[in-house]
Amino acid sequence: MTLEGIINYRRSIRHYKDLPIDSEKVKHCIELATLAPNSSNMQLWEFYHITNPEILKKLAVACLNQEAATTAQQMVVFVTRQDLYRKRARKMMELETQNVLKNSPETKHDKRIKSWKMYYGYVMPFLYARFLGILGIVRKILVNSIGIFRTITYQVSENDMRVVVHKTCALAAQTFMLAMANESYDTCPMEGFDGRKVKSILKLPYGAEINMIVSCGIRDEKGVWGDRMRIPFSEVYQKI
């Protein structure tokens, strides 16, 4: 299919046929999802590919027994991991240093490596750190002071950074669903679930948060709830 065909094919499916799907193809779609854009390339996400029938049954209950869950052949749980910010920042600092050494003129190595060390060694850890909301207040005071003299991003509270992590994880989920549509597989992104139960079932650490759960399978005719409806484009499109 063309990209336009894939986008038009994808629907949120509420009921799947009792037909198996290839877990390796689903895994490949998750690999493609890792190529989604994300803030500062921090990749503060994890993807849990559920194929075990018993776990699927437990997750269906945690997803309030909605048909999109109870009839799913597989599920993928998209999880944010803001708590891994130090580890991911160190990794990115190493990768960007290698990029500089490989792709930049030797005369600019020191300056550019120093810049990346500052960004991933200090700025990112400072932005993503959390401590009862206090660090967010400190960051807000700092950026509001700097903003008097220069243009700056003001969304730096602890809740703001949590939103950033969830937005980028959602981009990965959307990329996954489009990749699945390219395989003629169907999906449904679910936000109606008991997050505590899901974390318990998957044994997720305290710092992990559920972004969304995507059920997977092959659509049944009754799995598509009528024609697609969208607000008229003229109401949402603004050309400036």
Domain ranges of the chain: 3-78+176-236, 84-159
pLDDT tens-place string over residues 50-66: 999 999 999 999 999 99
Question: What average pLDDT does range 17-40 have in this prediction?
Answer: 98
Q: Are 164 and 153 in contact (CB under 8 A)?
A: no
Q: Cα 70 to chain center, whole Å?
A: 23
Q: What is the pLDDT of residue 1?
A: 87
Q: What percent of the chain has pLDDT over 90?
A: 98
Q: What is the pLDDT of residue 226?
A: 85
| Cβ density class 64-99: b for 16+ within 10 Å, e for less | eebbbbbbbbbbbbbbbbbebbeebbeebbeebbee
Q: Which CATH superfamily includes the segment(s) 3-78+176-236?
A: NADH Oxidase (3.40.109.10)
Q: What is the pLDDT of residue 60?
A: 98
Question: What average pLDDT does range 191-213 have in this prediction?
Answer: 97
- Asked whether the predicted pLDDT for residue 183 surpasses 90, the reply is yes
- Asked whether the predicted pLDDT for residue 170 surpasses 90, the reply is yes
- Asked whether the predicted pLDDT for residue 95 surpasses 90, the reply is yes
At residue 21, the 3 state secondary structure works out as coil
As beta bridge partners, residue 195 has none
| pTM recorded for the entire structure | 0.94
Question: What average pLDDT does range 76-105 have in this prediction?
Answer: 97
Q: What is the pLDDT of residue 100?
A: 96
Q: DSSP assignment of 172-224, as one string? A: HHHHHHHHHHHTT-EEEEE--S-HHHHHHHHT--TT-EEEEEEEEE-B-GGGS
